[in-house]
């Protein structure tokens, strides 16, 4: 049992990112001091929204420069904190030529660097790590062998590799490293948040998050001819942020927490959005798997193995730990999708047909 003192600063790594910005907002609105790490605090465009959040909020924002692959670079931001929320990790799926350097090294070495600094700073009592359902399963086909046909926190992804699903591999290796480092000491405990696909409005236009790409691909007309039957667990970014904060301050929080409110296919998402945004070129049909398998490697840079193991499966997630132990309340899917789409229109990222 760990009671975190709210008068002490909270460190949030990767603070300018899509999810982390909402975490920072929640903490500042509660009146806390946030030690926010970014790669380069002089990049005005990347951090302007954080200063805007701090303006008028009850809490205080302090920015620190830190890079996942620079050992020791997080230590200054962690000094004095009892709670460290480690979100920084690349969430990029497309256009990766060197998965080790682009994904695995920053995720795994970065987590090790942050947690070693936690070991060196005597104030740290709890670490909340942004993991993913990608560290629970690798490919959708694994639902067929999941006990009870449901993905739970008991499961670990042991099918991804540097060559197949490298992002998922980066997440499972980073989470495993975190539990290993945690086990070797007793001053701080570890709680993980394992979200499915996060959607909902972004506080920044500067993020590289694949969440934004998924919505842009749906609404930009790029998938006008049709979409594969790819199903996702989906959760609102505001609930994901809230879960990190609840996990940070709940003395009894422990272990892993799947954050996933709904499951929907790309076509189901597009159908919900089309009812509200009829003038945008959203896809209207699902493509047969054999056709997707034929064209996807060239059209979308996706392997036939990925299509074989992920297209055509219905997913089920057990989110009961997030609801019963953290007290997360999930909003309806229509609100998450429509708020996200509206915000992207406002930001000029989506155009009418
Ligand atoms: P994001 O906006 O791209 O945030 C990623 C953050 O990581 C950015 O702040 C980025 O900093 C930072 N980062 C990347 N490489 C770094 C490096 N070498 N050194 C320091 N910082 C670095 O994406 P997000 O969706 O919010 O993802 C945040 C976390 O949630 C990640 O751990 C991701 O795996 C996890 N997650 C996301 C989803 C989802 O659907 N979005 C689902 C499950 C889990 P810069 O701004 O400097 O690039």
CA–CA separation, 122 and 97 (whole Å): 40
89 CA → ligand 1 middle, Å: 4
Domain parsing of the chain, residue ranges: 10-346
pLDDT tier for residue 207 given thresholds of 50, 70 and 90: confident
Secondary structure (DSSP) of 173-193: HHHHHHHHHHHT-SSSEEEEE
| Predicted confidence (pLDDT) at residue 295 exceeds the cutoff of 90 | no
Tokens of 8: 């002490």
pLDDT computed for residue 297 by the predictor: 81
Torsion on CA atoms 60, 61, 62, 65, rounded to nearest 10: 170
pLDDT digits (tens, 9 = 90+) for 62-73: 999 999 999 999
Cα angle 11, 14, 16 (rounded to 5 degrees) comes to 105
Tokens of 273: 């959005």
DSSP secondary structure code for residue 94 in this structure? T
Q: Is 62 a catalytic residue?
A: no
Helix (H, G, I), strand (E, B) or coil at 37: strand
**Which residues 6+ apart lie within 8 Å of 10 measured at CB?**
27, 32, 33, 34, 35, 81, 82, 83, 84, 85, 248
Q: Is 259 in the pocket of ligand 1 (CB under 6 A)?
A: no
pLDDT digits (tens, 9 = 90+) for 144-179: 999 999 999 999 999 999 999 999 999 999 999 999
Give φ, ψ of 2 to 5 degrees: -130, 115
pLDDT computed for residue 189 by the predictor: 98
pLDDT tier for residue 118 given thresholds of 50, 70 and 90: very high
CA-proximal residue: ligand 1, atom 45 (nearest): 39
pLDDT computed for residue 325 by the predictor: 97
CA-proximal residue: ligand 1, atom 7 (nearest): 88
209 CA → ligand 1 middle, Å: 7
Q: Is 91 in the pocket of ligand 1 (CB under 6 A)?
A: yes
> Please, what is the average pLDDT of the chain?
96
Q: What is the CATH number of domain 10-346?
A: 3.40.50.720
Q: Is 24 in the pocket of ligand 1 (CB under 6 A)?
A: no
Q: Is 195 in the pocket of ligand 1 (CB under 6 A)?
A: yes
| Percent of the chain surpassing pLDDT 70 | 100
Ligand 1 site-directed mutation target among 34, 74, 91, 322, most atoms within 8 Å of CB: 91
DSSP secondary structure code for residue 326 in this structure? I
197-199 β-sheet, strand order: 197-199, 231-236, 262-265
pLDDT digits (tens, 9 = 90+) for 8-33: 999 999 999 999 999 999 999 999 99
pLDDT computed for residue 17 by the predictor: 97
Find out whether 231 and 264 touch, Cβ atoms under 8 Å: yes
pLDDT computed for residue 197 by the predictor: 98
Q: Is 68 in the pocket of ligand 1 (CB under 6 A)?
A: yes
Range 292-301 average pLDDT: 84
CA–CA separation, 132 and 154 (whole Å): 13
**CA gyration radius, the chain:** 20
pTM check: above 0.85: yes
pLDDT tier for residue 107 given thresholds of 50, 70 and 90: very high
| Predicted confidence (pLDDT) at residue 56 exceeds the cutoff of 90 | no
pLDDT computed for residue 102 by the predictor: 95
| Percent of the chain surpassing pLDDT 90 | 92
């Amino acid at each position: 049992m760990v009671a975190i003192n709210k008068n002490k600063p909270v460190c949030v790594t990767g603070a300018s990112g899509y999810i982390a910005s909402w975490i920072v907002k929640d903490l500042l609105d509660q009146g806390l001091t946030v030690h926010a790490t970014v790669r380069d605090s002089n990049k005005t465009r990347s951090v302007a929204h954080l200063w805007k959040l701090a303006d008028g909020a009850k809490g205080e924002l302090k920015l620190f420069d830190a890079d996942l692959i620079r050992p020791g670079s997080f230590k200054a931001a962690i000094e004095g904190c009892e709670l460290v929320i480690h979100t920084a990790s690349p969430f990029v799926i497309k256009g990766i030529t060197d998965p080790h350097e682009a994904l695995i090294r920053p995720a795994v070495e970065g987590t090790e660097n942050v947690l070693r600094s936690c070991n060196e700073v005597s104030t740290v009592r709890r670490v909340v790590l942004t993991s993913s359902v990608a560290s629970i399963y690798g490919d959708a086909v694994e639902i067929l062998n999941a006990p009870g046909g449901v993905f739970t926190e008991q499961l670990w992804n042991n099918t991804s590799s540097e060559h197949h699903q490298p992002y998922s591999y980066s997440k499972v290796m980073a989470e495993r490293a975190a539990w290993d480092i945690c086990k070797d000491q007793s001053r701080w405990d570890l709680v993980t948040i394992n979200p499915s696909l996060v959607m909902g409005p972004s506080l920044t236009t500067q993020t590289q998050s694949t969440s934004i790409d998924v919505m842009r691909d749906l609404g930009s007309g790029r998938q006008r001819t049709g979409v594969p039957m790819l199903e996702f667990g989906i959760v609102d970014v505001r609930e994901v942020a809230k879960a990190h904060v609840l996990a940070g301050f709940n003395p009894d929080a422990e272990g892993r927490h799947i954050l996933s409110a709904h499951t929907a296919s790309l076509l189901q998402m597009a159908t919900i959005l089309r009812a509200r945004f009829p003038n945008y070129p959203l896809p209207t049909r699902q493509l047969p798997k054999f056709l997707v398998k034929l064209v996807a490697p060239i059209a979308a840079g996706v392997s036939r193995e990925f299509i074989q193991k992920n297209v055509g499966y219905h997913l089920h997630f057990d989110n009961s730990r997030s609801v019963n132990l953290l007290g997360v309340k999930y909003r309806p899917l229509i609100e998450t999708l429509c708020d996200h789409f509206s915000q992207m229109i406002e930001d000029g990222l989506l155009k009418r047909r």
